[in-house]
Amino acid sequence: MSLVADFLRRSSVSWWDVFDILIVTVLIYHALKLIRGTRAMQMAIGSGLVLAVFYASQRFPLRTANWLVRNLLVYGVFAAIVLFQSDIRRALSHLGRASLFRYFARTAEAAETVEEIVTAAGMLAQSRTGAIIAVEREIGLRHYAESGIPLDAAVSYDLLTTIFQPTSPLHDGAVIIQEGRLAAAACFLPLTVNPKLDRDLGTRHRAALGLSEESDAVAVIVSEERGEMSLAFNGRIERRLTAEQLRQRLYALILHKAPAEVSAEPEAGADA
């Protein structure tokens, strides 16, 4: 309570204080996002418990616990660096690619991803090869990505068409794209229970619709029976799309722009 009272007695809060708090908040958010679902998450939980014991040992007469924790903290930092050096390198490299530092390049990367998806969908439709390509937007698809085979590869039309070939062990399921990367393949998606759905729609369309009902993701479907391209989003489906129509819809849903607007923008790092 004394800390709260001291804060309230302050004469004013400057913009530098607000900026300072925002920086710390962003850093904590990205740190938690990076370690979520990794070994470092368990390490962070264990460190939090150790710090809680250390704080309690200072407030109460727990001398033995305080001595033990103080000695553990001395060597714990070095042990964490040795054990999690690969995770630390990955976190630092990911921080360099964070949205705060690549704001101007994000639109160009997303546009390239859309073009690769449209090209792959067109080639798969011509060969009547079934496929589901789900693109993450605001709501994360980590739960569904973990049900498949992790890839973490660059999005390219040749890789997408190869995955969905009938002879490929990854063709049965959906591909999930996260942050411009092909995160996983052969992923299981929830089937829609909408009773008004057309009876001629198969499992792929029902799975794509089910995903769009539970998240804001966009799913591109290629039918192997009819060789047509469809788009599922927000619990709805648009069928029999041409390549240009699919491109227009993906640009509008993912980039919130038209293809002409993206092509007119200057490239990141270009000379003024």
**Per-run averaged pLDDT (10 residues), the chain, 272 residues:** 58 75 81 61 70 79 78 70 63 54 61 94 94 91 91 93 93 91 93 80 90 92 92 92 94 78 49 36
pLDDT reported for residue 189: 93
Q: Is residue 269 part of a domain?
A: no
Whether the pTM exceeds 0.95: the reply is no
pLDDT reported for residue 159: 95
| Domain end call among 80, 96, 112 | 96
pLDDT reported for residue 13: 67
Torsion angles phi and psi, residue 265, rounded to 5: -75, 145
Cβ atoms of 222 and 125 within 8 Å: the answer is: yes
Cβ atoms of 183 and 160 within 8 Å: the answer is: no
Looking at the fold, whether 137 and 6 belong to one and the same domain comes out as no
Looking at the fold, whether 73 and 137 belong to one and the same domain comes out as no
Q: Is residue 270 part of a domain?
A: no
CA dist., res. 68 & res. 133, Å (int): 53
What type of residue is 2?
S
Looking at the fold, whether 38 and 162 belong to one and the same domain comes out as no
Kindly tell me the burial class for residue 120, based on how many C-beta atoms sit within 10 Å of its own C-beta (0-12, 13-18, 19 or more): buried
Contacts of 79 (CB under 8 A, 6+ apart): none
pLDDT reported for residue 101: 45
Looking at the fold, whether 60 and 137 belong to one and the same domain comes out as no
Looking at the fold, whether 16 and 73 belong to one and the same domain comes out as yes
Looking at the fold, whether 6 and 137 belong to one and the same domain comes out as no
pLDDT reported for residue 272: 32
Looking at the fold, whether 174 and 156 belong to one and the same domain comes out as yes
List, in sequence order, every residue forming a beta bridge with 241; answer none if it has no partner.
Answer: 229
Structure tokens at 209: 């619709």
List, in sequence order, every residue forming a beta bridge with 187; answer none if it has no partner.
Answer: 174
Looking at the fold, whether 92 and 108 belong to one and the same domain comes out as no
Length of the chain: 272
Give the range of the structural domain holding residue 31, as residue numbers without chain letter. Answer: 2-96
3-state helix, strand, coil in the chain (%, to 5): 55, 15, 30
Cβ atoms of 141 and 179 within 8 Å: the answer is: no
Angle between helices 85-96 and 63-83 (to 10 degrees): 70
